[in-house]
Chains A and B, each alone.
Chain A
Amino acid sequence: MNRLLSFLFHQGVLDEQFLQLQQLQDETSPNFVSEVVNIYFHESEKLLRNLRALLMERELMDYKKMGIDLNQLMGSSSSIGAKRVTNVCVAFRVATEQNNRVGCFRALEMLEHEYCYLKNKLHELFQIEQQRDLAAGVRYPVQN
């Protein structure tokens, strides 16, 4: 798991904020990180869907609304520590400010791409963690 983590850090998928999250996890809230991340996934998927719907509009593109959604997505991504996603959001925001439809499309694609990647990797991470916990849990009673 540490290997995967360091790999993700190296790639810039995650940043120190994720470490902060991990530090916030302790005995009083043992599943904090996975909980928060799941909330994040849930919310961001909604936001991404909204963004796509907004971009699919034929006529009047509501950049302002996109900006709102984007702002929220950026906020939560940065709170999670999803650096690459956040960066793409920044680029996306620039495109919306310039009313650049093509740019927005490209940014959205990239956003979805990065998001998927992040989601997969984080799921992987959690699974490894779970398995490790299970394995550790089995061992303890035996020791006693």
Chain B
Amino acid sequence: MEQSSMNSGEFPAGLRVLVVDDDVTTLKIIERMSVRCHYCVTTCSEATAALKILRERKGCFDVVLSDVHMPDMDGYKLLEHVGLEMDLPVIMMSVDDRTSTVMKGIRHGACDYFIKPVRLEELRNIWQHVARKFLNESKEHDNSSSREDNDRNNISSAAGATKGIVKEQKKRSNLKDEEDVELENDDPSTSKKPRVVWSVELHQQFVSAVNQLGLDKAVPKKILELMNVPGLTRENVASHLQKFRLYLKRLSGVAQQQNEMLNTVPGTIESKLAAAERYIQTVAASGYVSPETLAALHAELLGHPVTNIVPTVDRTTLMQAFEQEPKHSGADDHDVASGQPLAKYPSNIVNNFPQSILKVDNSSLGYGAWPPSDTLGSVSRGSLGVPNNNMVIDILQHHQKHQHQQKQQKSPIHDQNQSINVQPSCLVVPAQSSDTFQEVKSVASVNKDCSFSRNAIIDYSQQSQKSNISSSTSQYLGRDTKSTSISPLMSSFSVGSSNSNIQQIQNSTSTFGAARPLPSLLPMTFRQVPYDIKSSDSLDQVCLRNPRFVGKGNHISSFENEIESSASDFSHMKVFVACNGNTVKEEPKEEPNFIRYSNVNHPVLYNYPSHDHSSAST
């Protein structure tokens, strides 16, 4: 823990840094700089891999340096995850020095923002963020302890008031009823301020508590009582709640932004629609969506302001598609019907629709058995924080509850009018182990909803591992999968998964028929839609070129080899350099205007298509 490194006399030496950047050059440079600063550095070229490492080795890092623009996951998303799950200081890096970008980083909670090129001096300073965080937490605990002391005399030892933190400071040791309960993943070091690590389960409990109370009424104290986790303090909950609220706000803000964005980018509507269509196909393929539900949803969504970008013809075709639904979804079985291609979906409806789709799928999971079908694959997890989704979610929850109770598939769901829990329940995607997943069935529908979402999300992120365009998957499973990729755009909260779930999901995803990755189909999150729809192989190369590489760098082959390979790679550039006066071993034969020089003293000439052929120099 950082405390140990702090206690050692050479702070900030030994600071444990995780660097995430898709650009290998920068990665190597920063790694070297960190070594120079005597840090313990781990490098990672993929955000998903980085999250995996962070989760596996919780408490092994003090600070995270992350690039902003990365292909597999948005840097901001990673930032949020780290902040929420591990509460580590995160520093963003980018060559982008625009104020808006920097501001965005700050809003997402970055501790600092470096403009590339990062200099050694800047790197030397990052310890201050670690120190600051550490000190702030101390202060927090101090405040809480004094307050708790006062309270203790008056209040009976409710679960929430119990302060069972390991290794208290001496001045707090007079708390008699403190239990020696280990917080999850707490590091039994000589730390004075044991830090609460918001594990997935803990977070899930938190979320369900919040949902039960209602986001508006969620007070830390009540949440604490509901959660009933020994050793958790009101302050822990309070700070976590604050973060949670910020997160939700951000999501709703972003979703609205993207709504606007969609509406203002007509040029890419077709691509969006096409992607949406494929997406809808997969959703329809799930077959779980009963026609009534879908129709209700559809009506719901269409009720939302549809901008003039989308021609009304889309709507009619969509309705037709819905009418086709009864054909295959009427049966009371869990088999997945083959997908019926829905018509092109209005792009701005896509904005909202996936959220509801998510719910629909979730409801279908209410049967308890994990359908070995592709229901999950089509789910988007974009159901966060968009206020206009209340009704949709209501409908879905109704559906879900109803189904669960009656164990029947066909039911007029949308008639029911049960009260619905707070919308944020659907927002968070808690992770649960499969065991608890089963148990949760009988609990409030909210929880179930969440767990469904979670599994759906897990599925998604698995698929998205292969996604090539910068899709913003917000969850990462830490599993490699070979399933086809659909890039989800869900910005969900936390991920954790047990093996069994993943296997189930893998089964389902492998049957999932989506042919082409749908990068960022759903503009749910911070990624702009037109950005990513098209997937090209060239980008594949760029983004997927790096195998997960964790650890201290990769070794470059010798100078000579490097030159040769680069020469043969590069078709446009006809530069070629002889090594050490040796003649060139390889020559691209198809380049007639290739000029080679074998002597160092001669300047190299280079030709490229647009320029005139210049003769060899001196």
Q: Which residues of A contact B (CB under 8 A)?
A: 17, 20-21, 23-24, 28-29, 32, 34-36, 38-43, 45-50, 52-54, 60, 62, 64-65, 68-69, 71-72, 74-76, 78-81, 86, 109, 112-113, 115-117, 119-120, 123-124, 126-128, 130-131
Contact = CB atoms under 8 A, between A and B. Distances in A.
B573 A79 contact: no
A42 B577 contact: no
Q: Which of A49, A68, A80 has the most CB of B within 10 A?
A: A68
A36 B96 contact: no
A24 B33 contact: yes
Contact of B538 (A49, A64, A130): A49
Contact of A116 (B29, B35, B606): B606
A43 B536 CA distance: 18
Q: Identify whether the interface residues of B are mostly helix, strand, loop, or mixed.
A: loop
B67 interface: yes
B147 interface: no
Contacts of A17: 117, 119
Given A47-B542, A80-B25, A124 B536 contact: no
Contacts of A23: 120
Contacts of A113: 608
B69 A68 contact: yes
Nearest to A76: B25
Which of A32, A76, A81, A124 counts the most B-chain CB atoms under 10 A from its CB? A76
B556 A38 contact: yes
A71 B29 CA distance: 17
Contacts of A40: 25
> Interface majority SS on A: helix, strand, loop or mixed?
helix
A124 B600 contact: yes
A123 B608 contact: no
Nearest to B535: A65
Given A32-B32, A39-B28, A65-B539, A74 B95 contact: yes
Contact of A112 (B528, B541, B573): B573
Interface in B490-544: 528, 530-532, 534, 536, 538-539, 541-542
Nearest to A109: B610
Given A20-B117, A20-B120, A36-B25, 8 more contacts: A34-B559, A40-B25, A49-B571, A50-B539, A50-B542, A75-B21, A120-B604, A120-B606
28 contacts: A17-B117, A23-B120, A29-B32, A38-B559, A39-B24, A39-B556, A40-B25, A45-B570, A46-B541, A50-B541, A50-B542, A54-B536, A65-B534, A68-B71, A71-B94, A72-B22, A72-B23, A74-B95, A75-B26, A75-B95, A78-B95, A79-B25, A80-B29, A116-B606, A116-B608, A119-B573, A120-B577, A130-B580
Interface of B: 21-26, 28-29, 32-33, 35-36, 67, 69, 71, 94-96, 116-120, 267, 469-470, 528, 530-532, 534, 536, 538-539, 541-542, 545, 555-556, 559, 562-563, 565-566, 569-573, 575, 577, 579-580, 600, 603-604, 606, 608, 610
Contacts, number: 156
Contacts of A126: 559
Nearest to B268: A60
A65 B559 CA distance: 31
B538 to A, nearest CB: 4
Contacts of A29: 32
Nearest to A24: B32
A65 B71 CA distance: 11
A80 B563 CA distance: 18
A116 B606 CA distance: 7
A141 B234 CA distance: 71
A28 to B, nearest CB: 8
Given A62-B534, A65-B539, A71 B95 contact: yes
B542 A52 contact: no
A116 B573 contact: yes
Nearest to A128: B600
B538 A54 contact: yes
A49 B541 CA distance: 10
Nearest to A51: B538
Nearest to B26: A79
B345 to A, nearest CB: 20
Nearest to A57: B536
Q: Name the residue in B531, B532, B542 with the highest tally of chain A Cβ atoms < 10 Å from its Cβ.
A: B542
A117 B562 CA distance: 18
B69 A20 contact: no
What 7 A-B pairs have minimum CB-CB distances, sorted nearest first? A76-B25, A50-B538, A75-B95, A116-B606, A38-B562, A120-B604, A64-B531
A17 B121 CA distance: 12
Contact of A72 (B69, B119, B538, B566): B69
Contacts of B32: 24, 29, 32, 36
